[in-house]
Amino acid sequence: MEYIRYRIADPERRAEFEKAYATAAEQLDLAPQCLGYELSHGIEEPDRYILRIEWTSVTDHEQGFRGGPYFPPFLAAIRPYIGDIEEMKHYTQTSVVSAAAGDTAGGQTP
């Protein structure tokens, strides 16, 4: 899991930022290394954004995606916001997860 934290101070840039990521997301959808993503916007701190991208592996992200055909157009879309990144790190999920996350039987555990 990769988390990228952005701080976009200018309210006018926030709408542009979201449009840029909508464009960049088209490349994530095409990349076989990307299993999913979501961009969240801060409520208490509206200048904050967090992008979560689930990759098949760190190596697939750093070598496969970044070395493949989908990275250049992805980067071109978000390039104006690279300076707004506060953190860009990979994380692994722990065993501490919501019981609801494993609930696939409508409230009943198989």
Are 70 and 23 in contact by the 8 Å Cβ rule? The answer is no
Question: Which domains are assigned to the chain?
Answer: 2-92 (3.30.70.100)
What Rg do the C-alpha atoms of the chain give, in angstroms?
Answer: 16
Q: Taking 60 as the threshold, does the pLDDT of residue 110 lie above it? A: no
pLDDT tens for each residue of 42-99: 999 999 999 999 999 999 999 999 999 999 999 999 999 999 999 999 999 999 999 9
Measure the N-to-C terminal CA separation of the chain; round to a whole number of Å. Answer: 27
Count the neighbouring beta carbons within 10 Å of the beta carbon of residue 31.
20
